[in-house]
A = this chain, B = another copy of it.
Amino acid sequence: MTQKLTILDIAKLAGVGKSTVSRVLTNDPKVKPETREKVEQVIRESGYVPSKSAQAMRGGSAKVVGIILSRLDSTSENKAVRGILEVIYQAGYDAVIMESQFSAEKTNEHLAVLQKRNVDGVIVFGFSDCDLSSIEKLKHKAVVIAVDTDSISSVGYDNQGVIELAMNHFIEQGKQNISYVGVDPSDKTTGLMRLNAYLECCQRFGIESCYQTGQLSHESAYQLADDVIKTKTQAIVCASDTLAMGVAKRLQELNRTDIQVSGVGATDLLSFIYPNTFSIDPGYHQAGQSSANLLIKQLNGQHEVTHLTQQASL
């Protein structure tokens, strides 16, 4: 990194006015090809890098989107983030990422910081008692993931679908005794919606329901497992791969190789360790892409509020 070159230095070096250089930078068509070529040449040779800060200030857009996720080490979220990055990077944006750690307060702080930075838009990963009010103020400049709201564009997971997919799979195999292990219904999406999907499936197919809910951890599922393992149990549907892990472990200890387990999350580790197992893919990566595409579309003028639901797949 040599001295900070400015647009003026380039102008002098190329023997043109600084606005001409600016035009080249902004791809203004009103530049004689020759001139453009010469300027680009100089830019290349000098290693000049236009200052985004200045551009941001001038143009109003910093070409940055903020991403607020609950935890960086959440596999679901970082799969989605990878999808987001692909898309926004393609569109010339960069990302500043922050962790809410499931705190509404932190989320708001981050939101404030992001505003200060003049970010063009924000993508927020929702969590149980996420405070949407401050996000709503951003209107079309925000997209939320995995959260229910009308006022703001969102990409949701198909909480019903992920469970139905697993249930159908087992039922097609002729299984009639299917248990369920989930998380506490106080969590609207992963908790309540998935449990309801299970219960509805049971009703629809005349299956006697048998379920337990608890924390979103291996240990919790491991402990809950015994309560849903009956002699006639043929399969256990779990609300997430983490839970499936705990259940599968217990089954292995009990030598119940006859019982199949399903999870949600598409973790390759699950079926590697426990072969009698499969996982539904809620489409985290695509959800990330969709949310990013949605945001960019909105930043480009399409101000309609849109709600997408990510298709799940086996």
Which among B62, B72, B79, B97 is the interface contact of A53 at CB below 8 angstroms? Answer: B62
Determine the chain B residues whose CB is within 8 A of the CB of A56 once the complex forms.
53, 56-57
Q: Flag if B94 contacts A51 (CB, 8 Å).
A: no
Q: Flag if A94 contacts B75 (CB, 8 Å).
A: no
CB within 8 Å for A50 and B218 given contacts A75-B73, A273-B249: no
Q: Return A146 CB to nearest CB of chain B, in Å.
A: 17
Interface residues of chain A: helix, strand, loop or mixed (majority): helix
Determine the chain B residues whose CB is within 8 A of the CB of A89 once the complex forms.
98
With CB as the reference atom, state the residue of chain B lying closest to A51: B118
CB within 8 Å for A1 and B57 given contacts A52-B118, A218-B272: no
Q: Flag if A96 contacts B94 (CB, 8 Å).
A: yes
Interface size on A, residues (CB 8 A): 43
Determine the chain B residues whose CB is within 8 A of the CB of A50 once the complex forms.
116
Determine the chain B residues whose CB is within 8 A of the CB of A57 once the complex forms.
51, 53-54, 56-57
In the complex, per-residue mask of A45-81: 1 if CB is within 8 Å of any chain B CB, else 0: 0000111111011000010100000001101001101
In the complex, per-residue mask of A68-107: 1 if CB is within 8 Å of any chain B CB, else 0: 0000110100110110010001000011111100000000
CB within 8 Å for A78 and B72 given contacts A97-B95, A113-B94: yes
Determine the chain B residues whose CB is within 8 A of the CB of A99 once the complex forms.
82, 85
CB within 8 Å for A85 and B62 given contacts A51-B116, A269-B218: no
A219 at the interface (CB under 8 A from B): yes
CB within 8 Å for A138 and B1 given contacts A56-B53, A57-B53, A245-B273: yes
A115 at the interface (CB under 8 A from B): yes
Which 6 residue pairs spanning A and B have beta carbons closest together? Answer: A53-B56, A53-B57, A52-B117, A72-B78, A97-B97, A96-B96
Residues of A within 8 A of B (CB): 1, 49-54, 56-57, 62, 64, 72-73, 75, 78-79, 81-82, 85, 89, 94-99, 112-113, 115-118, 137-139, 218-219, 245-246, 249, 269, 272-273
